[in-house]
A and B are shown apart, each in its own frame.
Chain A
Amino acid sequence: MSEAATPRPRRERPGPLEYLRRWPLRIMVGGTLFFLYLPLITLMVFSFNDSRRNIVWEGFTLKYYEKAFSNASLIEAFTNSLTIAFATTILSVILGALAAVMLWRFRFPGKTAAEGGMALPIVVPEICMGVAMLVFFARVMPWPQGLPWPANLGAIIIAHTSFAFPFVATVVRARLASFNRELEEAAKDLGASEWRTFWDVLVPHMQPGLIAGALLAFTLSLDDFVITFFTAGPDTVTFPVKVYSMLRFSISPEVNAASTILIVVTVALTAIGLHLQNRNAQKTKA
């Protein structure tokens, strides 16, 4: 695409491959973005609408935010969701990185089976995993009731980690493919121990993959409804489960307000993560 670099007068006909400058495709892209964003934007805008009927604009208000913030069970669900997401991220990054290094570094009997097993949580339908977790925590390993917070969230954290860490492993393994194995050998030749080599040579190289994986694990955990729905008990409600039960009664602007907060939180966290990753990439290049 060398011609893209040369400045061109505005009214010229689009070049043969500049599909974005052709109107049928412009309509397609515009229409798709409209379809993707209209529901979300109306949801966010109408969380500030001073009307219960929630359909005609009747003036700006923050009262649904006040209501959402004074709704103790909603706040609790929100805190639970964030706690679970943080714990899941930490566990998934550790397990995912180890799994990636295992599959990248070693030749061992049953490797194909291990690779297949790691891919399973990614492809198994959510509902199947949800019911498996339900049965597991009901019959095989009952999670003790009435534990103090945050130990009572253990079952959900375990379930989330089980589906999130294989995603992290995939991302980290892709990053490891660009590692020069001789660096590791050099470190060992120079007398570094196995642990030092891992920590000082391999981990810094994996870092961008670890950040991307952490981001992925965090969003996957925060986003999950189905698996949590089956693992959550009455006193371990997460934000999506809470919103779901609020929706069952009625659609109130309070849910809009709470959802807007969650959207802003996720988008902000992702932006920070991407920014960190970009800065890292630039640092490696420099």
Chain B
Amino acid sequence: MTAIARKRTFRWDRFIANALPHVALIVFAGATLMPLLLIVSASFSDDTLLTRRGFSLLPQGFTTFAYQYVADTGTQIYRAYFVTIGITVVGTTVGLFVMSLLAYALSRPNFRFRRILSFAVFFTLLFNGGFVPFYILMTQYLGLVDNYLALILPNLVNVFFVLILRTYFAALPGEVFEAARMDGAGEFRIFLQIAMPMAAPALATVGLMTALTYWNEWVNVLYFIRDPEKVTLQYLLFQIQQNIQLLQESDVYASMGVAIPAQSVRMAIAVIATGPAALLFLVFQKYLVRGATLGAFK
């Protein structure tokens, strides 16, 4: 009671000490947000006005033409969205399962081939055969041309993520596993019902990062997909942008008299491509902050 009743004295020094970091952080957050807002604003702007006056926080001559231009690539963009979501869901689910299986095995001290398997896994972190052998393997031995597997397999296991998971599994208290074994649980059951739920923060982090890798997939499309109906969103957007550049630079195309909203389309592409990924980030944010320190564990 007395504490509440006590008259609060306003102290400038304390106020400033509190306010300064806040102001600094607000300015920093504003500086971070600003480019994003500029992108959104530019994507709704008239391209001619953009060239004349430059970028601004509010759209200049509000128009959705850039989005229409992107949508006019036909049903392709919806199909590309579908492909991207498909490989993201399948790739992340399967990848997470495979990576945690591998990491769990590597984390168990009683696993006999632990050393040799660890070596085999981490060796690939330091050395690889280079791109041309990879291309030959994929196209000539595995025949993965125009196949969704070509987009899923290469990113299925990321050694660095395996390292994170292994570290997390290894840090789990051994007594829990002992107790489970006493109760008659087999190794697979321990993994599935004990280790996996306990590693949820690590799985969420790795899952998000894997999902982002699949979401941003375009390089493997460039090399292994020839059917325009099987391309991913990022590749399609990359291609639209490349084509705009080609159209603007070459005389052959310039003479066709098409007006291309180059700058606003570029920004619309950025919004379409990063929007869902940014939402995904918001959902997983709380895990990510916790998971970000995971690599620091022993």
Q: Do A and B come from one complex?
A: no
Give chain A's interface residues, CB within 8 Å of chain B.
none
Give chain B's interface residues, CB within 8 Å of chain A.
none
